[in-house]
């Protein structure tokens, strides 16, 4: 693919949150954000993304076709773990 792209922003999304204030507030809490997740053949602790952030990701995915394709590729790669 030889399509020119431009990076117009940078962000972080994790179990700690998506904004700097939210991330810092969760970082200094005296608790972890890991949850036990059941996979097909094993259980493992994961730092899951909150429902609120998943809704924001869905809205972004639906806003621009390029993002939909990009997130689809990411989802396919994530499932193959």
- What local confidence, expressed as pLDDT, does residue 76 receive? 61
Residue range 19-44: mean pLDDT, rounded: 93
pLDDT at 46 over 70: yes
Q: In whole angstroms, what is the distance from residue 73 CA to residue 57 CA?
A: 14
Average pLDDT, the chain: 82
Global pTM reads 0.58
**Residue 16: C-alpha distances to residues 21, 59, 76, 80, 81 (Å):** 10, 20, 24, 24, 22
**Quick one: what percent of the chain has pLDDT higher than 90?**
38
Confidence of residue 35 (pLDDT cuts 50, 70, 90): very high
Contact 46, 35 (CB under 8 A): yes
């Amino acid at each position: 693919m030889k399509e020119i792209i431009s990076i117009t922003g940078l962000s972080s999304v994790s179990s700690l949150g998506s904004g700097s204030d939210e991330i810092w507030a969760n970082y200094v809490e005296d608790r972890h954000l890991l949850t036990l997740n059941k996979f097909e053949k094993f259980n493992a602790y994961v730092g899951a993304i909150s429902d609120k952030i998943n809704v924001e990701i869905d809205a972004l995915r639906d806003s621009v076709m390029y993002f939909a394709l990009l997130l689809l590729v990411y989802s396919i790669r994530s499932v193959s773990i």
